[in-house]
Amino acid sequence: DELPIQNLVENLIWTIIRKEPNKRSIQQATMGLLFLQLMNQIDHMETAAANKQQKLVMDVLSYIEEHYRDGELESLAKQLHFDKSWLSKEIKLRTGLNYTDLVRKKRLNQAAYLLSTTNMNVLDIGLAVGYENTSYFHRIFQKQFGMSPRNYRVTNKA
């Protein structure tokens, strides 16, 4: 469907059929132009595919940004019109983290921000970022930041 490529192929066929004086030179030049057009087309297709992949990652990260408290992969898959299993694999492939890890990272970064910029108590911060189990919140916060939420607040208070 690419007119320049189509024209070059037609020219190549035409020079093969006809007896022209510089037939070989014309064919070589036409082949060179044809290869350049094909390479350009491949580059264009690869760029379009990369843009689609970037858009997918941006859509996923935007969803997490807005729904980190209670967003689920199934809801995201429905919103983007993808199969949940396929989307899960693509997220891991494109970001290096699975959906749950991305959500956990966002929740913990938001908790760290709230600890350093507000006077909310730790229990309320855990609830605000989506953790109903306080001990689990403390455990994963400790694992992520190397200190308890209370110690993080003391160390990083703005």
pTM equals 0.70
How far apart CA 63 and CA 74 sit, in angstroms, is 12
Predicted confidence (pLDDT) per residue in 1-24, tens digit: 688 888 888 888 888 888 777 888
Q: What is the pLDDT of residue 158?
A: 60
SS3 129: coil
Percent of the chain as helix, strand, coil, to the nearest 5: 80, 0, 20
Lowest mean pLDDT among 17-26, 29-38, 75-84, 108-117: 17-26
Kindly state the average pLDDT of the residues 79-101.
95
Residue indicated by tokens 């899960």: 88
How far apart CA 59 and CA 75 sit, in angstroms, is 13
How far apart CA 158 and CA 150 sit, in angstroms, is 14
- For the chain, the C-alpha Rg in angstroms (whole number) is 28
Q: What is the pLDDT of residue 51?
A: 82
Q: What is the pLDDT of residue 143?
A: 96
Between 124 and 40, the more confident residue is: 124
Residue indicated by tokens 């910029």: 117
Maximal C-alpha separation, the chain: 89
Residue 96 has φ and ψ, to the nearest 5°, of 85, -5
Would you list the DSSP string of 59-123?
Answer: HHHHHHHHHTTT--HHHHHHHHT--HHHHHHHHHHHHSS-HHHHHHHHHHHHHHHHHHH----HH
How far apart CA 102 and CA 138 sit, in angstroms, is 18
